[in-house]
Chain A
């Protein structure tokens, strides 16, 4: 029964998805959009599971003292602080004791992680007391400080300058740096790919040189180089790509049919 119900659901909704592709009627559209909304709802609940998983793995790393465990502190403090920033905003001009509250929250998270990672009873007691003290301090500040407030149901928190600045000036540059690494990785990968080890590799190198030099106006015979590289891109390259695309398309249809008909059960852990 535990497996039959999911298979039945996959069969019904899988066939509905095929059916709705051929039925443009409003009723069909309504059910299609309704099902898509369900994906969003499930995604939100699954996100909570994801955050719990991240928390557990990070704490486990700290507990076991694994290599790079210090990054787990950064991960969890960053995670909870951004959540705190996103749900709070100042009510007037000044921030009051907001930064003290942030420090207390951050320290409380670190103390809780140390508590989870502690092996001895004495250490557990010490970190537990510390976490409790910091938590009480954070709660008191939150209750008595009127300079800022929590916003759980409205979007005020998203305009919190802390929330925006942390994202714009810390997160974005780090992400851009990661993306920029791609240029160097392409260079090293290209070096490996274009080594003329045999005839085919030499042809690949020649084709690559032609394609790379097609935009160079100073090259002698630039016009012919451009024509040759355009031909390479539009004829042999496109032919190969389309062959792969047709194969992929059939593969997708085949796999989808197998899943809907219950032939392929790998996604449920049953091969």
Chain B
């Protein structure tokens, strides 16, 4: 009997609990109604402006964060920014940023066919949603706008660069004029360049060719342009001494320019009949295939002198070590910082960085070129002085001085 009462009691208990469980949704409904309190406060003080120093098609949106972002209910997860070309919408998503953010750059495409296209000189309107962990619980701000974006004709963030270029240009003009008037300018000796003549003489005496490598740079690289000048000097001397010159190239445009340079050098030396188009020839545009071809030339032809001038990458040591093994005198010059140590180790003479650019002036000894070289030296002195002042200013917290040199893209 007791068991029966116990079983009936348990059944009743389960029944009551199930009734109570079914009544829970009603309580839940009351939570939804109460969740109005969970809606976060909207953002305030929305400001829209055209993104400065750009080509247009971009708007900067700033706002004061929701009162519930980091305080209050502290339930803000992210802000969703919407945009439209009409005050009444429809609004498209511009972007999403995490809580704590106060600014968003809406950068669009300039291509009208792109879905991300933002038209210039057109009224644009924005809304910002404050979103909680539950995406349904969010608060939308009022519509803000209009704002128009447009491209600028001057990037004010690059003013320090413009000033530096103008000062440098002025220095160059002053020193070139001064040199033209006959002022003697001292240029310190550059070992690598002075060795070029000796190296060509050595090749002539040995009856072996000279190998000139222009590197892997394109004709648009300044290092390659500097190398063309040195190649011209080397080719002229080679033509005078009637030595053989080999110039394997990596880039077909570089090949075409180098052919013109060498041809002119042979004409200037009064030996146009010695010029052959094959002196400068194309090899390949594959880095290591180029290395294999040039190394093969070194080991077969055994050049007396190898000159490496221009842009070099991983192939620098592969070339220079092979040349060293072949017993050639080697002169190198590059502006690639990472490759300079390799050349220093494997070559007899190395032009470090800017010496490559100074080489043409040093070889030519023309007043105009020496003048520009002198301008470079003065600019370097100015950089050193400014670096020292900047160091002191940074340590003393004089931000106004260091900010003068800040370049903003």
Chain A interfacial positions (CB closer than 8 Å to B): 18, 21-29, 39, 42-43, 46-51, 53-54, 56-57, 60, 67-68, 71, 171, 174-175, 178-179, 181-182, 185-186, 188-190, 192-193, 241, 244-248, 250-259, 263-264, 266-271
Contacts and interface: CB of A to CB of B under 8 A. Distances in A.
A252 B168 contact: no
Contacts of A53: 252, 255, 277-278, 281-282
5 contacts: A24-B53, A175-B289, A254-B172, A255-B225, A269-B262
A271 B232 contact: yes
Contacts of B260: 268-269
B72 interface: no
A18 B166 CA distance: 11
B366 to A, nearest CB: 8
Contacts of B286: 171, 175
Contacts of A255: 222, 225-226, 357, 360
Contacts, number: 212
Contact of A43 (B233, B252, B321): B252
Contacts of A188: 321
Nearest to A42: B253
B153 A250 contact: no
A156 to B, nearest CB: 24
B288 interface: yes
Interface in B219-233: 219-220, 222, 225-226, 228-233
Contact of B337 (A244, A257, A259, A269): A244
Contacts of A257: 168-169, 172, 372
Given A244-B353, A267-B229, A51 B282 contact: yes
Nearest to B360: A266
A251 B261 contact: no
Contact of B222 (A49, A256, A268): A256
B291 interface: yes
B364 interface: yes
Interface of B: 53-56, 110, 120, 151-155, 158, 161-162, 165, 168-169, 172, 176, 219-220, 222, 225-226, 228-233, 236, 249, 251-253, 255-257, 260-265, 268, 277-278, 281-289, 291-292, 296, 300, 314, 317-318, 320-321, 335, 337, 340, 342, 344-346, 352-354, 356-358, 360, 363-364, 366, 368-369, 372-373, 375-376, 379-380, 383
A25 B296 contact: no
A68 B263 contact: no
B154 A57 contact: no
Chain A to chain B: the 9 pairs with minimum beta-carbon distance, closest first: A269-B264, A266-B229, A50-B252, A251-B357, A50-B282, A251-B354, A178-B288, A247-B354, A46-B252
A121 B262 CA distance: 35
A61 to B, nearest CB: 10
A251 B232 contact: no
Given A46-B255, A51-B282, A257-B172, A24 B300 contact: no
Contacts of B220: 39
A185 B291 CA distance: 13
A264 B360 contact: yes
Contact of A68 (B256, B282, B300, B375): B300
B342 A189 contact: yes
Contacts of A51: 282
